[in-house]
Amino acid sequence: MDVQQLEKLALLSRLALTDDDRRDLLPALNAIVQWADGLHQAPTEGIAPMAHPHDLSLRLREDQAAALPPRDQLMANAPQSAQGLFVVPRVVE
């Protein structure tokens, strides 16, 4: 992994990077990735990936609308809100 790739990952995950970050993160990430390369040693031919540790199938919820707590309560932690809306810097399409 090089700095360019790191910058791309930082963009995808919306994390600002300082120069210190770039210096410290790159070797650590490379070490982890190199380690992960060891996974290819395993005999995984014909083995299906295991996304869940048990064999459940999805249970379905009956389609009924439920009452909600008051909006003020649910928006109480908002860093900025006005007129019942969450406020963010202008979204440009």
Residues of this chain, 2-61, that bind another protein according to CB under 8 A: 5-6, 8-18, 21, 24-25, 28-29, 31-33, 35-36, 38-44, 47-54, 56-61
**Angstrom distance (rounded) from CA 52 to CA 4:** 34
**92 touching another protein, by CB under 8 A:** yes
Q: Mask of contacts with another protein, 63-82, x by CB under 8 A?
A: xxxx-xx-x-xxxxxxxx-x
Q: Give the list of residues 6+ apart from residue 7 with CB closer than 8 angstroms, or none.
A: 17
**Angstrom distance (rounded) from CA 74 to CA 19:** 38
Encoded tokens for 80: 């900025």
Distance of closest approach, residue 3 Cβ to another protein, in angstroms: 13
Distance of closest approach, residue 49 Cβ to another protein, in angstroms: 3
